[in-house]
Every structure is written in C-alpha cells, then in structure tokens.
Chain A
Amino acid sequence: MNADDSRRGELAELARLLPVPAERELPPGRQQTLKEHLMSELRTADTAAAGKTPARRHSRKRAAALAGVLALAAVAGALVYLTRPTPRPSPATVRLLDKIAAVASRQPTLGVRDNQFWYIKSWVAYTDCGNAKCVLEKPHERQIWQSASNQCVTGLLRESGQDTRLIFGTNIPSIKCPYKGSLNDPTYRLLRSLPTDPHALLRLIYRGMQGQQPAPEEAFTTIGDLIREAIAPPRVSAALYRAAALIPGVTVVPDATDAIGRHGVAVAMTSQGIRMEWVFSKRTFQYLGEHDINVADGSTNGEAAILQRAFVDRVGQVPG
C-alpha cells in the first residue's frame, strides 16, 4: 500500500466515522444578491482607494520599500523554517521536566489485569463550536471507564450525570478485535508496550505523523492527550515527560491554574494562537491538569483538572 492509498484509507475511515453533513446550494436569488453586493463593495473599495491619489505617489514608494522588507522577511522566514527555527527547551525547562519525570517514575506500579478498566474523574470545560459560534462549555464533572486492554470492549463516559456508552466504530477494516489501540486512542496495554527511552518514544510519536517536517506542536499535543485522560505505567509516564523535554518550543510558565483553580507550574507550548499548558503541583510535581489559553486575549480555550485515576473491575464502578 503506498502513501496515497493509506491517506485515502484514512479519509475514507474518517468519513465513515462521521455522518455526512447536509449540503446545499445558496438559494439562487440569494447567491445573486451576495454576488451583486460583493461586486458593488469591490467598486466602492476601488473608488475609496482612487480617492487617495494625492498621497499615492508617496505611499507607493513606501509600499515598494515595505514590499522589499517583506520579501526579505519572507526569505529570512523560509531560511529559518528550513533550519528549524524553534529553540530547544531551555535548561530550566529540561530541569523541570526531569524532576516531573523522576516523580512519575517513583509512582507505584499497579498490578493491572487485562479485564479491568481505567477510571478517570476530571473537571473540564472545552470549547463547543456547535451553534454558530464557539463558546466555552460550563465547567462540569467528567468520568470515563475504558478497557485496560481492548478498545472493542464497551466503555462508559459520564458527563454532568449523563451517560454515554463508548462503543468502538464498526466497519474499520484495518482493525481486528481485540485492539489495544494506538497513540491516539490508547489502552493501558498499549501504553505499557511503549519504549521507555525518550528519544525512541519521540521518534515513534513523530513517525505516527509521517509528514515531511516533524511537527513539534503535534508531538506536544499527542503527549498532552496521553498524560491527561489515560494511565501509563510509571516508567512510560517518565519517558513521556522526558520526550517532551526534547521538543523544540516547549517552555515553562511559572504560575498557571488548572480547571478547579489549583495553582502550579506549567510546561507549555504555543500553537496557532493557543498556549497549551500542562499544570503540575509546585510542591509534589504531580500532574494537576491542562489549561489552553487564547494568547490574543488571555481567554480560556479549554481546561481540565484530574481528580482521580484508578483501575476498577467493572464499568460504572467508582473506586472506594
């Protein structure tokens, strides 16, 4: 199977997982109205521009100079891009992640049976774009139960008291049950099989992307998902944190808060205008939660606080 085929396969699978949204034409009269409006606005824009003729000669020179600067900047940008612009994490960032990893590696190893479920209770609010504009949900409790070894076993999601059964997608030809998942939909069993060498682990994460350039933000996002609503064995958790310390652009935010207002120190990365912060206790260096912030206005784009993690024998069972 070549790359094109596998991409087509991936898009086809996504299309199968999602309902086909409605499609329609602009109502004919409306299409005409929008077009006439647009064309008349373009003329207005041109007239407005033409009205500025006195200043124009001057500004054209300035524009040419500016264009030159922009062209140079573009070339510089391209060069920087090729030579990997993003700085390696600072020594302070590496030290912090190392401390966090050391704490994670000292957690007791759980005796987990394949027929158990992980139980993770959190307090979350995410951005919901379902109704014409994106709004931050009301913060609420979220509890999830997922099989420790096999994604084909039905799990449960309980949000604000509402239950949703997590049933594995049908018609995915590439997958055979039992399925221990992937980096993007892991089970404990999958996480247990990951390399504990941070370089090897990061290579594996990058390999999952198969792009021409490694995408540091994407690796950071993947690790962020793996440390939040999942449970990994101590040595793998430690390796995930040490792998994060190898990602260019990762920084430290000295004071951050999780979704229930617990203060901590954050490991952060900015991507497309959103700063993703993983918040850790300043005292114990344990993971508290995540806070995603729109850099432009400081507003919250998403937040989570982990309240409890455990393995239980049955779906719906809450640890005592």
Chain B
Amino acid sequence: MSASLYLVAMIAVPAVGAAVTAALPGAPEGRDERAKRLALGTSLVVLVLAVLAALAFDPGGDRFQLTSSVSWIPDFGVSFALGVDGIALVMLLLIGVLVPVVVLASWRDTAPGERSMRTFFAWLLLLESMMVGVFAATDVFLFYVFFEAMLVPMYFLIGSFGGPRRQYAAVKFFLYSLVGGLVMLAAVIGLYVVSSSSLGEGTFAFDALRSIEIDPGVQKLLFLGFFVAFAIKAPLVPFHTWLPDSGAEAPIGGAVLLVGVLDKVGTFGFLRYCLPLFPDASRDFAPWVLALAVAGILYAALLAMGQSDMKRLVSYTSISHFGFIALGIFAFSTEAATGAVLYMVNHGIATGLLFLVVGMLIARGGSRRIADYGGVASRAPLLAGAFLVAGLASLALPGTNSFVSEFLVLIGSFPTRPVFTVLATVGIILAALYILLMYQRTMHGPPRGVLVGADDTTGGHGAPDREDAAAEAVPAAEAAPASETVPASAAEAGAATATATATEAAPRAGSLRVRDLDRRELAVVTPLIALILALGFYPQPVLDLIEPAVAATMSDVGADPAGTAPDTDPTGGTD
C-alpha cells in the first residue's frame, strides 16, 4: 500500500467495520460476541495503520505528508484532501491506541433496555472513522463535515448507551456542539468568500487559505466563528457545562473517547485553524482567551473538588486540563505550544486511564458516588494501583507523561505571559487536592460503602465504627511483631467477622462484588500505564514529531519559532 493511502484506509477501515458490525446477522448472543471481536480486530488494524503512517512520516520533511486529494465539489473548490503534520499524526496515534483499549474495556458492558451491544460497537467504529477524518482533513470544508458528522455517533453512544440521564446529556451535548458548529459554518463560508475575493477563485484548501492576508476586521469575525466552535468543543469555561453531564452519563468507553480525543478537536482547531488563518485576530484576542484558560484551570479544579460523582469529577479535571492546553497554545511560544500538543496526547492517555479505572470501580460497586466507596485498596490492590497511577498522571507527577507536557506549557508560557502562568501554576496544588481527596475517600480507610454491603443504611452508623476499631487492630498487629499470638491475617479475619456481625446479610455480597482486576482489565490498563511511564521518562521522540508543525504555526502568528528564552550566553541573558 502506498503511504499516501494510509490515511484513506484509516478512515475507510473503521467505517466499513462499522457497517459490517451493524449488519451482522444471527442470534443476539452470538452476534454481540462476534461484533466485539470484529470491532477489536478493526480497531487493531487502524492502530497498525497509524503506526505505519508514523513510520512513513519524516519529521524533517514537508509540513503535510501522506497527502492525497480528490476533487469533491469542484463548483465550490471543495476537495477530499487528506494529509497530516506532526500534530495531527500524534492525534491519530492516540486514536489508534485508545479505540482498541476502549473496545476491550467495554467487553462486558450491557446495553440498557432492548438495545444491542452490536450497535454500540458499530457506533464506536464509525466514531473512530470520523475522528480520523477530522484530524486528517486538509480541506477546511471537509474538516467541517467531519467535525459535524462525528457528533452523530457520539450522540447515539451517549443517548442510547449511557446512564440514567443519558437523554438529557445527549441532547445537551448535541445542542452545544450544533450551535458551535453552525457558527463555524458561517465562518467557513465567510472564509470561502474572502478567498474568492482575494485569490479570484474560492478555495477551502488549508495551504491556500493560509497564504491569504485577511483584513483585520474580517479576521476578528472569522476568528470568533471558529473560536466559539472550538471553545465549546474543548470546553473552555464558560462554555463547559455540557461536558460534566456528557462525561458522567456517557458509557465509560464513550467518555474516554469524548474527553480523550473528540474534545481535542477544539484545541487542535485553535492551533490548526485559528492561529495560522487569523494571526492578527489571534494576537488581539489572546489575552481574553488566556484569561478564560486560566480561569478555567482554577475554576474547574475547584469544582472538581466539590463533586460527589466520580465521573463528573473526572470531567471537571478535564476542563481544568483543557485550560492548560489553551494556555500553551495562546502563549505563542514554541515550547508552550509543543507542550500543549503533547498535553493533548498525554491527557488522552492519563484521563483515559482514569475514566477506565473509575468505570471498573463503578462496574463493581454499581454507584458513581464517591461516598459509596472506601477502603477499596485492601480488597482490590491492583485496581487501587492502576487508579493511583492514573491519578498521579492527572496531577502531573514527574515520571508520568503529563509532567512533561504541563511543565512545557508552563515554562514556555512564563517568558511571554508571566502573570497568567503564575496563576495557572497554582492549579498544580489544586490538582493534587482533587485527585488525592478522591483517592483517599475511595481507596484508603477501612472498607466502607458497597464493600460492606449494598444496603448498609441501617447499620450505617454502627458498622463503620466497628470497622474502624477492627482496622485499627490490623496495623497494630502488623507493626508489632511482639504480639505474635495475633497474626495479622487473623486480625484481618477478625475485621471481616466484626463486619459480618454488624451487617448480617449484605457484606458477603459486597466483598464478592469488589474483586480485583481480571486479566481482561489488566490488558486494558497495562498498555496505558506503560505509555504513561515511557512518555514520562523519554518523551523526546514524540516532541521531535510535534515541534516542526508547531514552529511553523508559531511563525504564522509572528512568534519566534526557535523559542522564547534568551541565549544561554551569560552576558546576553538579562533584560
């Protein structure tokens, strides 16, 4: 296969896979089983294609590679033009990794009501196809088409397969996106009009549009058209309120792709379209966008702390993280923007893992409420370990991938925007708070909530006390070899007995439910944990992919693509 066909194949393969999956014949049970395998197989093929595309990509070569173009609507200069720069390429790799993981994670999910999981996997594959398209399009109209089309599978994933308030969440998601999309459509058409007046012939080709000098006043309007759509998608405060609902109600697999990939279209759009096409407007609006970004970092982090629903909490952390990405993009420095792109990838991996682990916990306990859990670490240490790794990556601990990107965003923004950066840096304290609070409440302490019985309200006040006492006894026995007469395991058994007597019927069911990760779940979390650590210690190969495209974008907005800091020459180092 010629390298230029990789992108076409990455769109076509999952689309065909989706159609076949949806059309699978046979009895319901066997059909669902085959649908899963087909979806997994298809998504793995896409992963292989993404890796092949990355191998064929030359970081030192042209900005757009693996290009292909077919005229589509010649009357309006629209073509089906595909191609990737380093920024789009890493997003395709992220899609390639996340979709198989999500398929595997959804393996045992059941659809609500009469619906069939076959349909779920079909929508998932169609979504993958659309997501690839949106990142790979080099024609603005084609981008718009994918941008809108990808709403459809996500709408059904949320609306048909989500939680109790799925309808409300799906409609809210759709409406927000639609409003943004329509505003963008206006801007896309406007862009066409501008191109036809300045080039003599209207076009939607990104490269041609990039070369046009647009009147500053028009730039502002067009910038806003794109910006609103992207600010809703990547949600920046105050366009964010659809995300906590969607994130909370979406099935876990859908939530992972929603915040992991789909929302990144917004930040991707800032970099790909807003900055290069409307450089003057971008510079003019930058302080406002930065203010929104930094406000969002702090506001959403504080809100995350106040959530009682784990999925909502993770959604709010994402809004906070999107603030960091927007800060990195609108600080106009190569370091910060490279960090922002890396952040897009890393956030997909880290928050993806966090959502997945939260989903595994919810699958066990049957509740999204933090208060229904406690002491899970003592029953399910592997689950707790994966939760901790995901959490630490979310709070950007060095050694995890997110540290590199957050550090780059902040250190790169500081020289150009010191005040915003200092405020954003406070966000790292808040991140530690919201993650560790959730971790402590669910994983630490004596077993509580669903672990001691689903319906524990009657023994609710007495039981925890007894649990506490028993749990206190365990470490005491553990720590004191002196009391060899009471081996720790016996004390632990004692704790279990104390619970059992405290709440007659429920506890056994409770402790059965919270089992540790099984092999399938380990297969879900292991690749993501491996990526978190690998990119945490050796991010340079990915940075090398990203930087040239970012540098080109920076020179579009008139920033020095070589970076913001002074030379290391000691004498020249002051201002």
Mutual binders A and B:
no
